[in-house]
Amino acid sequence: MHYVELEKDLLQRNDMLAENIKRNMDDHGIFVLNLMSAPGAGKTSILEAVIPELTKKYRVAVIEGDMQGSADADRLAGFDIKVHQINTHSLCHLEAAMLERALVNFDLHGIDCLIIENVGNLVCPADFFLGEDEIMMVVSVSEGHDKPHKYPVMFSKANVLV
């Protein structure tokens, strides 16, 4: 009988795809930010506040990750940017394969900054490299002070906490 370590195999496949995405983004001079938080912490609200400033200097695009629906993408539709919605259905995170499929909807020559708004979840999004340059995590005060201890992977991988 042969046993396969599924988590290891899944993450290795994801990382290989993410490295390809990273090289592609680097080749096009695109800075990629992976924005993560618990549901309702304010990721989309932050984007609504910063996109008008970012677009004064940079060509911005957003990939919205949600389990279902397009409410966040709809909120960003009024800005002069390309927004693409990914619905993960039963998955609580984005994976590199999803991002790879979404990127065909973009003219990479027309982007300086790609923001990935990951699915709202503190458990697993940080385990999946997407080819990003930086990870920004949004933390809500109402979530409580114990979150870094309960979700150490997310907090340890974040480059910026807001």
Q: What is the CATH number of the domain that holds 15?
A: 3.40.50.300
Kindly state whether residue 92 falls inside one of the protein's structural domains: yes
Count: domains in the chain: 1
How confident is the model at residue 150, as a pLDDT? 93
d(C-alpha 143, C-alpha 133), whole Å: 26
Kindly state whether residue 61 falls inside one of the protein's structural domains: yes
How confident is the model at residue 144, as a pLDDT? 86
Model confidence pLDDT, tens digit, residues 36-73: 999 999 999 999 999 999 999 999 999 999 999 999 99
Phi, psi (rounded to 5 degrees) for 16: -65, -45
d(C-alpha 107, C-alpha 91), whole Å: 27
* CA-based torsion, 18, 22, 28, 32: positive or negative: positive
How confident is the model at residue 9, as a pLDDT? 73
User: Per-residue confidence at 8, pLDDT binned at 50, 70, 90?
Assistant: low
The structure tokens listed for 63 are 């990939």
Residue 57 to residues 53, 60, 76, 113, 156: CA-CA distances in angstroms? Answer: 8, 9, 18, 10, 30
How confident is the model at residue 7, as a pLDDT? 58
Mean pLDDT, residues 75-100 taken together? 96
Model confidence pLDDT, tens digit, residues 91-135: 999 999 999 999 999 999 999 999 999 999 999 999 999 999 999
Kindly state whether residue 1 falls inside one of the protein's structural domains: no
Model confidence pLDDT, tens digit, residues 141-156: 888 889 999 999 999 9
Mean pLDDT, residues 76-105 taken together? 97
Kindly state whether residue 42 falls inside one of the protein's structural domains: yes
How confident is the model at residue 11, as a pLDDT? 87
Which domain does 135 fall in, by range? Answer: 6-161
How confident is the model at residue 27, as a pLDDT? 99
How confident is the model at residue 34, as a pLDDT? 99
